Amino acid sequence: MAEQATATKTVLFEILRQDTTDSAPYWEKFELDYRPNMNVISALMEIRRNPVNYDGKKTTPVTWDMNCLEEVCGACSMVINGRPRQSCTALVDQLEQPIKLEPMKTFPVVRDLQVDRTRMFDSLKRVKAWVPIDGTYDLGEGPRMPERKRQWAYELSKCMTCGVCLEACPNVNSGSDFIGPAPLSQVRLFNSHPTGAMNKDERLNAIMGDGGLANCGNSQNCVVACPKGIPLTTSIAALNRDTSVQMFKNFFGSDHMVD
């Protein structure tokens, strides 16, 4: 009897779907046979293989983004049972049924669970979230970072641009230009790099304007939601100090200020 019960165990999904960028969203139910160690991604792949809904009607395969399947790339972010997170590490055994899947509302929906995260990538461009290198000659290894500084910089470097912190932040929405916690934390990361620090003033000035640091309401939602446990609000607090110093440098002239 126990074996028979296990064989007939099913998992119920409710997915918020949207056929095009402009069409109205609608809910669709799917029931799948249960498998041990099943995650949300494997369930979506099963629906894609056999797109038949709960009512037994043939439907279109569900669209979503994925890549690494090991919580490194950040592509498979979605809202699962009301919580933004990575679907590759969302195990069915640990989720309350019916399992509700929705696209992140912070970003425009492309189709179903797939969203356009251009807003976030544009913010990273705005703050120059990279270390510029002159490739015309070998720069060598560069200055060594103190171990303690390297350790916390490594924690910030774990950001996979998944967008979960932006989805969790109440200040990131269609009515706000706030760039969000992830791009701000990247400012601190690249400003701490010995070579990246050459553009420190540019990055700080970029977050001192509209949509920048001042738009953070310190709700702490981002820290709770971050799948990598990055101390985002700690970075934001540090940037508050750095931008205050930068403001005085801008006012009095950098030649008269000492870092």
Per residue in 16-45, pLDDT (tens digit) is 999 999 999 999 999 999 999 999 999 999
pLDDT in tens, 50-74: 999 999 999 999 999 999 999 999 9
Residues 252 and 137 in one domain: yes
Residues 27 and 106 in one domain: yes
Give the pLDDT of residue 254: 58
Are 106 and 120 in contact, with CB atoms under 8 Å apart? Answer: no
Report the candidate in 179, 76, 78, 77 with the shortest Cα–Cα distance to residue 129: 179
Domain tally for the chain?
Answer: 2
Residues 102 and 33 in one domain: yes
Rounded mean pLDDT, 8-12: 89
Give the pLDDT of residue 16: 98
Rounded mean pLDDT, 217-244: 94
Residues 133 and 108 in one domain: no
Domain endpoint, select from 80, 115, 150? 115
**Which domain CATH number covers 110?**
3.10.20.30
Residues 234 and 125 in one domain: yes
Rounded mean pLDDT, 224-237: 94
Rounded mean pLDDT, 92-115: 96
Residues 109 and 125 in one domain: no
Confidence of residue 4 (pLDDT cuts 50, 70, 90): very low
Residues 111 and 131 in one domain: no
Rounded mean pLDDT, 200-224: 93
Q: Tell me how far apart the alpha carbons of residues 23 and 21 are, in angstroms, rounded to a whole number.
A: 6
Distances (CA, A) of 186 to 148, 233, 238: 18, 12, 12
Interior/surface letters 125-160, b for 16+ CB within 10 angstroms, e for the rest: ebbbbeeeeeeeeeeeeeeeeeeeeeebeebbbebb
Give the pLDDT of residue 46: 96
Burial class (CB in 10 A: 0-12, 13-18, 19+), 165: buried
pLDDT in tens, 143-154: 888 898 899 999
Confidence of residue 14 (pLDDT cuts 50, 70, 90): very high
Q: Tell me how far apart the alpha carbons of residues 14 and 192 are, in angstroms, rounded to a whole number.
A: 44
Domain endpoint, select from 57, 91, 115? 115
Residues 216 and 139 in one domain: yes
Domain endpoint, select from 95, 115, 135? 115
Residues 143 and 19 in one domain: no
Q: Which residue has the higher pLDDT, 223 or 4?
A: 223
**Is a pLDDT exceeding 50 seen at residue 3?**
no
Q: Tell me how far apart the alpha carbons of residues 159 and 255 are, in angstroms, rounded to a whole number.
A: 35
Residues 32 and 136 in one domain: no
Q: Which residues contact 155 (CB under 8 A, 6 or more apart)?
A: 229, 230, 231
Query: Which tokens hold the place of 191?
Result: 């400003």
**Which domain CATH number covers 233?**
1.10.1060.10
| Domain housing 144 | 118-256
Q: Tell me how far apart the alpha carbons of residues 165 and 39 are, in angstroms, rounded to a whole number.
A: 22
Residues 152 and 249 in one domain: yes
**Is a pLDDT exceeding 90 seen at residue 136?**
no
Residues 14 and 140 in one domain: no
Rounded mean pLDDT, 185-213: 93
pTM greater than 0.75 (yes/no): yes
